[in-house]
Structure formats: C-alpha cells, structure tokens
Structure 1
Amino acid sequence: MTNATFHIVASPESWIEQAAVDQLHHTARLDDIDRVVGLPDLHAGRGIAVGAAFWSRSHVYPHLVGSDIGCGMGLWRSALPLRKFRLDAAERKLRGLDAPWSGDVAARLAEAGLAPDLAREALGTIGGGNHFAELLRVETLHGAGDAAVDPAALYIMVHSGSRGLGQTILDGHLARHNVDGLIAGEAACADYLAAHDHAMHWAVLNRELIAERFLDRIGTNGERLLDICHNSVTPHQGGWLHRKGAAPADRGLVVIPGSRGDMTYLVRPRLEQADVALHSLAHGAGRKWSRSEAKDKLVRRFSIADLERTKLGSRVICEDRDLIYEEAPQAYKDIHQVVRDLETAGLIDLVATLRPLLTYKMRRA
C-alpha cells in the first residue's frame, strides 16, 4: 500500500462536491498509486472522480481511464468566412449525421493503422451523453494569442470518443482482473495497452470524420488546429499517467469548453508549472448536477423549446427529450471560474474565447 501525494487545483471560490473528493481519496489508497491531482472541474463519476489525473511508477489501472478510451476534443478552423455563415441554413442542413458514415470506412481505418472492420458501424458518429459537435466564432482574442486563430473564421469543435470500442476493452479487462492494477512490462499490461492505443487512434479518427461530415453539410472544409484526448493512460516520467476527464498539458493548445450555453476557452499550457497538476488541465466545466438531478430540477421549469435556445443566443439540436434536460447548461459549473483557477495556479495563458453558435447533440432524422 502506498501513501500517494494528493492535491486539488481549485480556489476557495470553486465548488467541489464532497463525493468527488471522497472518490479521489479512495483512488489514492490503491496499491502503487503515487500521485493524485484533482482539477477545478472535478466531479463525482461512477466510482472514479472525473477531472483528475493519477500517476503510478509501476502499474496501469484500466478502470481509472474508464470505458470511453480516447474521448477528447478536436477543434477545426473552417474555410468558411464567418460573414458568409447563415445559422438558419446550417440548422436545416445538419441532418443524417447520426447514421453510419457512408464513405470508405475500411480505407480510413487502414490509413490510421487500424483493422478495417474495427467498430466500423460507429465510426464518424457522435454518440450520446455529453458528446457534441459545435459551431463557434471567436469572441475575444487574449494576450497569449496564436497565429492559427483567425477571428474572421467559423470554427467547429467535436467532443466524442471511442464509442462502444472502449467499453468492450474495459469490460474484457474487468472480467479478467476486476479493478486490479496491471504490472507494467507483464503480458496482461501489454495486451491492455495495445487495445487502449487502438481505441485512442480510433477516437481521433472518429472526431476527424465527424468534423468532415459537418463541414461538408455546410459546404466547406477545414484545418484541424488540435486534437486532445482526456481519457487515457500514457508513459510519463518513468511511470504511467492516467487521465480521467483531464486534458494533457504537454501537447500544445488546449480547448476547454463550458456547457452548450456558455463560452469555450482556447488556452496555452505553461510548461514551467505543468508538473504541479501532473501535466494536466481541466477538460471542461464539470458537472454540478447528475443527469437525473438535472432532469428532475429542470423539467417543470423549462420546455424543450426553451432549452433549444441559450442565454447567448445560440441554438441546440437535441431531439432526445431526456438528453436535452440532462445536458442543460444549468447542470454544469461555471466555466469562467474553472479557467480562472487554472490561470491563478499559473497553469495556462489565455489565447481566445469562443462563442457557441449551434450545438448539435442528436437528431432523429
């Protein structure tokens, strides 16, 4: 049993539920976990706190990564000038995007070094839960700046993962090992890491295809500015760094979205301070209410039509009655406070703030 160091990056102004802190402490008691860090978006998950990073010098714990291996955020700058974008037209055109992609799936998988039949039916689809694709524009440019950020362009952000593939990998591990850690260098660990890496590559390709489908619907193309995975385990400082809802701070620019009714921040990690938070950053605002709580609290106060428009004037496409309540902006923490905490801790410099125009979650037809 190890005595892990334990740190939460959050100011007194940030609200973090005790259940999430308790989950972090529970994880810190696992054998051979050496460091545990909670980030300002920390919230309780299904046994494991989300918005956290865990480092072990010798073990890999698949359940700390979870079922959606490779889940993350991608950001594209479209070739469509913002002045030519028409919201009504875009809303009408974004249809048929929940059906399987009609392109050459086997070829794209092979190009990515993956088996041509690997989870092929799901490739290019967003999925449910908190996943989405969103059209945005630049609201504010900050001092850190970046030449790739053009305030005259339309942007698309994609949040999705490995769909059922990651779940299958985790289920297989749990059936064989329960929540026991795997010793680095042993065959069982190598097998898990190989499957994990396939799911990571699949998830990156999935976000790429989602972006291509959306851009094609609105009659343009785009250039990827970043793609970051926030559910993963990777080699780090001679050990293994597990991220559960934590964005990497060692791979360039990071996008940190709020809820569908709030701003998104584009930030540059400050590498000189990165080890304070295990080279990790918040991956979003973090939930304030569970999905069931959100529905119970909001269903009598707001109609579905109310939730299809946000306080920022953006629109929401979500034709799942439960999901539109479960993922309402009110269910999430204040993204501005989350980002302030990261900035105060010396972990980031602000590059830009992005305003949502249209958030797509699910459409029946």
Structure 2
Amino acid sequence: MGNKLSGKELVKLGFPKNNTINIALGQINRYRKREKKENILLEAQEVLLHPESFKTHATWSKVAEGLLDPVQVQKKLNQLRTSKVPFSIFGENEIDEQAKFQLYDALKLPVAVRGALMPDAHSGYGLPIGGVLATENAVIPYGVGVDIGCRMSLSIFDVPASFLKGKDHQLLAILKDNTKFGMTETHDIKADHDVFYRDEFNDIPLLKKLKTKAYKQLGSSGGGNHFVEFGIVKLSNPLPEWELEHKEYLAVLSHSGSRGLGANIAQHYTDLATKKCPLPKNVQHLAWLDLNTEEGQEYWLAMNLAGDYAKACHDDIHRRIAKALGKKVVVTIENHHNFAWKEKVDGKECIVHRKGATPAQKGVLGIIPGSMTAPGYIVKGKGNEESLNSASHGAGRLFSRSKCKSSFTQSQIKKILADNDVKLIGGGIDEAPMAYKDINKVMALQTELVDILGTFTPKIVRMDR
C-alpha cells in the first residue's frame, strides 16, 4: 500500500460515499500529509465512531460536521449574470479588445458590484492587467494576481542630480552588489524583519512551510519587468512636508512583489477557489472565496502578509543601497498595485481588487513608471469614484513577450539605451523599451484620476538576466 491515503481506504473504514470523503482527504492533505498513513487511519476510525468529539478539532472538525450533517456535493456551476454591473473605461481606444472582454466577464459575476479599466490595460489571467473590480464579501485570488503585493518604492535623497555625473561605474557596482534577482539569487548576509514574527507564519500551515524560503528571499526582486534603478527625480509640485525645492534630485526606484511566498499563496488559494466556486470554463480564473468562510479568511490573512512581506523586501533593498551610497533618504513614496482592499463603494463596504492598478484615493501618493528609457510619474490621487479611486500602474504593454522576441534585436535596444543615456545590467528583449505604450499618452488619458507632482527618469537600471 502506497503512502498516500485514498478515498477507497476511507470507504473501507465505513465512511459514507458522499462529500465527507472529499472533505477528509482535503483536510488530511492540507494538515497531515507528512504523517504515517496508518496513524491517520486509526484517527479517522475514531472520528467516524465519535464525530461529536471532534467538532472543534483542528484537522477533523469539518469532517465531523460532514458526518453529523451530510451535505451533497455542489456540482452545479455558478452561472454568470446576463448583464454587467456598472463600469468605466479610461483610454478605451488604447486598450485591446481581449482586455475589455475579460473585464466584461468579470462584471457579470454574481458577486460583482462595480468595475473599471485603466488606460494601460492589457489582457491577463482572470482580471485583465489594469482591471479594477469591486465585489461583495468575496475575494478573487486571480483578481489580485500571482505576484501579491507587487509594488513600487521610490527613495529620494537630498542630493542633487549632478551627483550622477562621472559615477557610472560606482553606481553600477552598488546595484550589482546590493540587489538580487530571479529564482536563485539571494543575499549572502540575510536581514531579519518584524514580518517573520507574525502569527500567520505559525497559524496557517501553508505559510509555515514557506517561511524559510521567504526569509532567504528577503530583499531580492523577481524576474520579468521587475527592476531597481538609479535616476533623476524632478519635482514640479513638491508637497510642503517634503521640505524639497523645485529641483532635480538623485533617487532610487524599485519594482517587485512578494516573491515565492506570494506565488505559492496565489496558486494554493486559486486551486481552492476553483473547487469551492465552480464557474464556466472561460471564466474559471475568476473563482472567488467567500470571506465568511475559513478559506476566505485564511486567504485574506495570507494576502495581507504577502503584501507586508513585499514592502519588507523593498525596504531592505533601499536600506542596502542607501548604506552603500552613504546617503540618507529624505522622502519615500510607495504603493501596491496587485492587491485587494476593503473600501466603500456606493456607500457600502466592498472588496476592491486592483490587478495592475495604482490606488488613487484623494491625496494618496503613488508611482506610475514608464519604461527603462521613459520617465515615471510621482502622482497624487484625485479620488475619482468612476475609476474606483484607481489609476494606471505603468505605461502598459504594447507587445507581448513573445512578440518582442520576434520583433526586436539587442542592437536596437542598445541604440535606444545609448540615445537616452541609460546604462543597463541584465534585461531581456521581452523588456525592450519599445514593448511599452507611450507613458505620456497614458498619463494624458488619466488627468481626471491623478495630479502629477514630479517625474523619475531612469539612468542606471538593474534587471534579471
């Protein structure tokens, strides 16, 4: 007999042939899969004989409930509504049709309340990138995205931009020595952080297993479009509390998320959601978890932990760079753009998913990057309810990764970098500056969503590869 417990073995013990079997296997796989099968079977026999004694048991409570009050397996699909809930699209002529259709599907979910699409939008899995969706007491793991808490962080130094002149080699070396990218690179000297002492790492079995990996990856960045870069901040409308003039300053900008921790959380709870919430095949990535359920509450805690971990990664990156530079950070501006929040929509509390969208409530600060040769924008939200208090999270892709590889060459990229006086470490053809929409056009399409306080122009860029 193999080491993995099967439904047949539970039936042999006397378990009824109904959903109790599925519940038992799910709980065992989730909490006890490292234990010997013989011990699990002995315990399962006790649960079967005395279910009332296990009603509050950590592993067996749901199984006991199923035995005491059998429920039939729900096989019926959750059908979409025939009409869409209210929505707004900003920059409609710049957005591909597939992204719009993905939003339209999401707007027909039974839990949907309101939606919006940002001008940098393009198609993705579940919600489109640049999609915003408010739901009623339900969270959609793929509405948040795989890279939970993917975010921007900008550190401005009270150092004039002229500091960059003639220091290319020094700054390139600082980025090489103090940033790590991709699946395998980690810092030799690890940093500790308060986030690792959170109860969730002990209370949620999945997170307990991921803690060591999260510790190793702290202060590192992912692949793809994630970056750390030195550049020039030009303040056109600085806030009084910054105590900075209308000048140009040295700054560091980073873009990354919650690494393997977030990816594993996303996969685990997406799998759970698709089982708990069967949907038609074309929209199965929009499966949700009810926040009144244990699974929904668990995902919510795990998602928030992943978001805080992503912030901790950025904090560590900026700490290392500031130390190597020997300069003090005077202003930090940061924001998530893959997350879900509890916010008021039309007067009632909803779950607002922003998948590739920047929070833009009235007065809230954020960063909207361009590309490695185009400026990013420091913005302040206007609190536009039509956009669900959101703005774009960047310029948005014009070409897919595969299209980039067949359309552009390294020599073309080198020429554009040279023309813009940008030095690059790493970066593939799929992240070519030409892969992105015109950030100035995107910003012009969201003047009713944000005010511009300044720009960040990249000069020395580090990416994966």
The two structures have a TM-score, normalised by structure 2, of 0.70
Structure 1 residue 127 displacement after superposition:
1.4
1:159 counterpart residue number? 255
Post-superposition Cα deviations, 1:149-176, rounded to whole Å, max 9, x if no partner, equal 5524211111000011111111111222
Asked if the contact 2:423/2:461 (under 8 Å) is kept, the reply is yes
Residue in 1 aligned with 2:411? 302
CA gap 1:31/1:208 in 2 versus in 1, 3 angstroms: same
| 1:122 CA drift (Å) | 1.2
Paired position in structure 1 for 2:292? 185
> Do 2:107 and 2:115's aligned partners in 1 also have CA atoms closer than 8 Å?
yes
Match of 1:229 in 2: 336
For 1:145, the equivalent position in structure 2 comes to 238
Distance in 1 (alpha carbons) for counterparts of 2:456 and 2:314? 19
When residues 310 and 57 of structure 1 are mapped into structure 2, their CA distance, relative to the original with a 3 A threshold, is farther
Gaps of at least 5 residues in structure 1 are none
**Matching residue of 2:379:** 267
CA distance change for structure 1 residues 188 and 341 in 2, over 3 Å: closer, same or farther? same
The aligned residue for residue 88 of structure 1 is 169
Greater displacement, 245-254 / 67-76: 245-254
In the alignment, the residues of structure 2 paired with residue 112 and residue 327 of structure 1 have an alpha-carbon distance, to the nearest angstrom, of 36
| Larger gyration radius, structure 1 or structure 2 | 2
Q: Hey, what's the Cα distance between the residues in 1 that align with 2:116 and 2:125?
A: 18
Tell me, in whole angstroms, the C-alpha distance in 2 between the residues paired with 1:130 and 1:190.
31
> Counterparts of 1:107 and 1:295 in 2: how far apart (Å)?
39
Which digits, 9 at most, give the CA deviation of each residue in 1:49-91, with x for residues without a partner? 1011100123111111111000010111125443333223212
Q: 1:203 aligns with which of 300, 307, 310?
A: 310
**What RMSD in Å do the two structures reach over aligned CA positions?**
2.2
The structure with the largest strand share of the pair is: 1
Question: Residue type of the partner of 1:166?
Answer: G
Count of residue correspondences: 349
CA deviation map 1:290-322 (0-9, x unaligned): 1010111003x7366446x2532122111xxxx
Match of 1:10 in 2: 91
Mapped to 2, the partners of 1:288 and 1:125 lie a distance apart of 27
Q: Which runs of 5+ in 2 are unaligned?
A: 1-79, 202-210, 275-284
Q: Check 1:10–1:18 CA distance in 2 against 1; reply closer, same or farther (3 A cut).
A: same
Question: Whole-Å Cα distance in 1 between the matches of residues 301 and 433 of structure 2?
Answer: 37
* Equivalent-residue separation in structure 2 for 1:11 and 1:53 (angstroms): 15
User: What's the % identity of the aligned pairs?
Assistant: 28
Q: Deviations over 1:314-343 (max 9, x none)?
A: 22111xxxx421001100001001111111
Residue 131 (structure 2) pairs with residue 33 (structure 1): no
SS in 1 for 2:176: coil
Q: Is the 8 A contact 1:304 1:324 kept in 2?
A: no
Length-normalised TM-score, structure 1: 0.88
2:186 maps to which of 70, 79, 100: 100
Would you say the 8 A contact 1:232–1:243 is kept in 2?
yes
What's the counterpart of residue 55 of structure 1?
A: 134
Q: What does residue 30 of structure 2 align with?
A: none
What is the rounded CA distance, in whole Å, between the counterparts of 2:230 and 2:200 in structure 1? 29
- Correspondence for 1:242 among 350, 353, 356: 353
Cα distance between partner residues in 1 of 2:157 and 2:304: 29
| Structure 2 Cα separation of the partners of residues 202 and 17 of structure 1 | 33
User: 1: CA distance between counterparts of 2:228 and 2:453?
Assistant: 21
Find out whether 1:337 has 2:445 as its counterpart: no
| Cα 1:156/1:37, change in 2 over 3 Å | same
Question: How many angstroms does 1:264 deviate by?
Answer: 0.9
Structure showing the higher helix proportion among its residues: 2
The question of whether the paired residues in 2 share the 8 Å contact of 1:5 and 1:36 is answered with: yes
